[in-house]
Structure 1
Amino acid sequence: MTNFYDINKNEELLKKQLSYAVANSPFYKKRFTDCKIDIEAIQSYEEFRKIPITTKEDLQNYNEEFIAVGKDAIIDYVTTSGTLGNPVSFALNDADLDRLAENERQSFEMVGVKRSSVVQLTTTLDRRFMAGMAYFLGLRKLGAGIVRTGSGLPGLQWESIERFQPDFLVAVPSFLLKMIDFAVQNGIDYKKSSIKAAVCIGEPLRNPDFSLNSLGQKVKDLWDIELFSTYASTEMGTAFTECEFHKGNHSLPDLIFAEVLDENQNPVEPGEIGELVVTPLQTQTMPLVRFATGDMVKFYGQNCDCGRRSFRISTPVGRKKQMIKLKGTTLYPQQIINLLTAFQSLKIFVIEASLNENQTDEILVRIPNDFTETNKLQEHLQAGLKVKVSLEKTSLEKLEKLKFPQESRKPKLFHDFR
């Protein structure tokens, strides 16, 4: 398969994955037959692109038809976070769990974790959550020390740091701010702790130009540790991770074949933004072929100062389905979130999208009742977005419920009612 995207994959593994999916997955057996696709005839990327895209709706509507092993082979069941709809069930057999461990082993090595390192995991290993388990399996395979504190509980985090002296944290960036706030309030000299770096998950850390976004910069200004960006999803079972040069998130070529496609499903050039489409490699229980993630990312190409020639992308700049057209301006929620996070005196907010009577997009930003700088915030947003959005004061109790819904594993800053 001689093409610009070739360096991004192991061709033999890709062909093997296609053959496995067609032979074992009821969904792909039917799809390839219906579309008259001959695996043996695929000898170029152009021919590979004739395979239809698999959508999230396919995965939701035909969930069990993607299972390619017997039920007695399944060991672990997980669900997606359900960011864009109902959570989807995923299953893993023994080989998939080994692959997941290898993915995280490579990812942790990329950020500098060694066998002699100690890593504190501030993420849950339960609640059908794949990521926390993946981190544990990867660190175990690497041979590093692991401190499993779980999510929340800043007091336990700092007591564990003092007790076990970890070098790395795995954490959501906004939780690092909560840890810093707790340390300040309780007289903990956090700047002299053993922590040298944080592997950041769940929230974007950088802008597409590699600079820290407002959330990342806020953490860095308060705590001068090295911050590594990551991007992953349950469906991919694979992580894209920053190296020490912080110039995009690297793919793991033996575990995933990635494409970044424009609205016509053509590959974008380096520097352009498109939708990430993935074919995870070496998966057995629920193989996916050309799965459209719904995430819009910037494609950087392959060459990096670190010497790796793997596929590099940004963390998502937005979700394809969350694109907002506001008075002729195209926006993604993350742009609004970055601007709101950068406004120092605003401690909590929620963004809502809806349709007005003309069936065009409207944006409402909910802010606390006691917030006193409404006019300044309005000017700040308009300067950054080039368009005016509505602000509405809301009780702190309601804001907390909107931001931390009981059924969600992540803070929910954007609610789409369109």
Structure 2
Amino acid sequence: MKHQVVMERQSPEEIKAYQEELLRRQLVYLRAHSPYYKQLFEDYAIDIETIRTLADLRRIPTTRKDDIQAHNDDFFCVEREKIIDYCTTSGTLGRPVTFGLTNDDLERLAYNEMRSFRTIGVEPGDVVQLMTTMDRRFMAGLAYFLGLRKLGAGVLRVGSGIPQLQWDVILQHKPRFLIAVPSFLLKMIEYAEQQNIDYRNAGIEAVLCIGESLRDAALNDSLLTQRIREKWPLKLYSTYASTEMGAAFTECGAFQGGHVHEDLIITEVLDEEEQPVPDGDPGELVITTLGVQGVPLLRFKTGDIVRKHTAPCACGRHTYRIGPVEGRKQQMVKYKGTTLYPPAMHDLLVGFPEIEQHIIEISHNDIGTDEIVIYISTKETAEEFLMQIKDHFRAKLRVAPRVEKRPSEELQRIIFNPLSRKPITFIDRR
């Protein structure tokens, strides 16, 4: 890890050779310490000594989330007394599972985020406002704190929500950077305008954005990004991570996908038959963690649909990038012959400033097909407005969902459920 700055500027061939050496070490570790993978190697007669290259990985079966749910304890590779921190997945898809991190895993997590923050320009001595939770066994908030601490930056641990509190802290402590869910920035802007806060001159230079995509599949700014930047011309950097990865893909100033941390993770982008898709084509992200002690994963299917970008990056790093999550495999909607994912629908709704809150609900109807209902809160009273939303969906996504108005307070209670670590804007009742 200490040679990292040099490593990411090496040739793709040298980086690949480096990853393959780390992979061989990880396989030896799994065979010795993982009850689940030791059994997998035996069941499929896999001699790990023959797995020498990244291409050889395809001879090993993939792991799914339901495998971990069914055999959670068997994925632990150390005694419980060596586990320093327990995290759970956020439960976006299915029942949450528990991950345990050793002291070295926490150090690895800190190193990962330190690199991410350096990528977006955070320097020792900078002040960064953390606008996401650190509690409820949420890995992301802890990772950000550890990374900033390792980098030597100051952290304002404000937590999620409450625009008034966020602005009070910003105006008092003058952070250069924020860590936030991008749609919440619109709430921050709305509050600032109502309170006559000169937000454009508050000292914020950039935001590390989590939970929602900033770019579309072609890596152009999403409607959400455009709306934020029209009001508040910040640098908005996307970061994509998950508890299972223990690593992040973070954009550099070229904004052309998140750079892989090649000493922490190996990725594959696969089609329905688990074959690699051409670079730049959409497929499911499959990850193999490197250097994890507590709960390492081998060829884990994330369920996230992404694209891999290998064209040279203007920043000079030779690591490939992973594009935004275009959807989750299990949340794919089949609607009257059209396939679509919730992020595309969310992005269209963000294009209507009149919409204060929205929730997308998917259910099966009586004839066995998917039904889409969009609940919105808005001060717009004209019925034509609902038709305008339907027409926009029809033009852009070739679907016409049902659109219904609801009181803002009703939607707010669902979206910001205190039992959820993330805003709930998509409900799948299928």
Aligned equivalent of 2:414, options 375, 397, 402: 402
Structure 2 counterpart of 1:253, one-letter code: E
Separation in 1, partners of 2:270, 2:105 = 27
Matches within 5 A, 1:244-255: 244-255=253-264
Other structure's SS at 1:219 match = helix
Matched, 1:107 2:116: yes
Matched, 1:94 2:103: yes
Separation in 1, partners of 2:17, 2:165 = 41
Equivalent residues of 1:119, 1:146 under 8 A apart: yes
Equivalent residues of 1:8, 1:311 under 8 A apart: no
Other structure's SS at 2:372 match = strand
Cα gap change, 1:88/1:134 in structure 2, threshold over 3 Å: closer, same or farther?
A: same
Separation in 2, partners of 1:143, 1:275 = 36
Aligned equivalent of 1:332, options 321, 341, 346: 341
Matched, 1:197 2:197: no
Partner of 2:427: 415
Equivalent residues of 2:134, 2:142 under 8 A apart: yes
Other structure's SS at 1:95 match = helix
Equivalent residues of 1:268, 1:299 under 8 A apart: no
Aligned equivalent of 1:78, options 87, 105, 124: 87
- Deviation of residue 388 (structure 1)? 1.6
- Deviation of residue 4 (structure 1)? 9.0
Matched, 1:258 2:267: yes
Q: Which moved more, 1:141-150 or 1:238-247?
A: 141-150
Aligned equivalent of 1:67, options 65, 76, 100: 76
Matched, 1:367 2:415: no
Separation in 2, partners of 1:410, 1:168 = 21
Matches within 5 A, 1:314-325: 314-325=323-334
Separation in 2, partners of 1:175, 1:388 = 27
Cα gap change, 1:4/1:326 in structure 2, threshold over 3 Å: closer, same or farther?
A: farther
Equivalent residues of 1:77, 1:128 under 8 A apart: yes
Separation in 1, partners of 2:94, 2:292 = 24
Report runs of 4+ in structure 1 exceeding 4 Å deviation: 3-6
Q: What TM-score do you get using the length of structure 2 for normalisation?
A: 0.93
Separation in 2, partners of 1:4, 1:385 = 40
Partner of 1:31: 40
Structure 1 counterpart of 2:122, one-letter code: V
Q: CA RMSD for the aligned pairs?
A: 1.7
Partner of 1:238: 247
Partner of 1:389: 401
Separation in 2, partners of 1:301, 1:243 = 14
Equivalent residues of 1:103, 1:239 under 8 A apart: yes
Structure 1 counterpart of 2:25, one-letter code: K
Cα gap change, 1:168/1:369 in structure 2, threshold over 3 Å: closer, same or farther?
A: closer
| Identity value in percent | 50
What stretches of structure 2 of length at least 5 have no aligned partner? 1-11
Separation in 1, partners of 2:399, 2:134 = 42
Cα gap change, 1:333/1:253 in structure 2, threshold over 3 Å: closer, same or farther?
A: same
Q: Which moved more, 1:207-216 or 1:275-284?
A: 207-216
Partner of 1:272: 281
Equivalent residues of 1:277, 1:290 under 8 A apart: yes
Structure 1 counterpart of 2:391, one-letter code: E
Structure 1 counterpart of 2:386, one-letter code: T
Equivalent residues of 1:9, 1:257 under 8 A apart: no
Cα gap change, 1:369/1:120 in structure 2, threshold over 3 Å: closer, same or farther?
A: closer
Other structure's SS at 2:277 match = coil
Separation in 1, partners of 2:41, 2:320 = 27
- Deviation of residue 63 (structure 1)? 0.8
Separation in 1, partners of 2:14, 2:56 = 13
What stretches of structure 1 of length at least 5 have no aligned partner? none
Structure 1 counterpart of 2:420, one-letter code: S
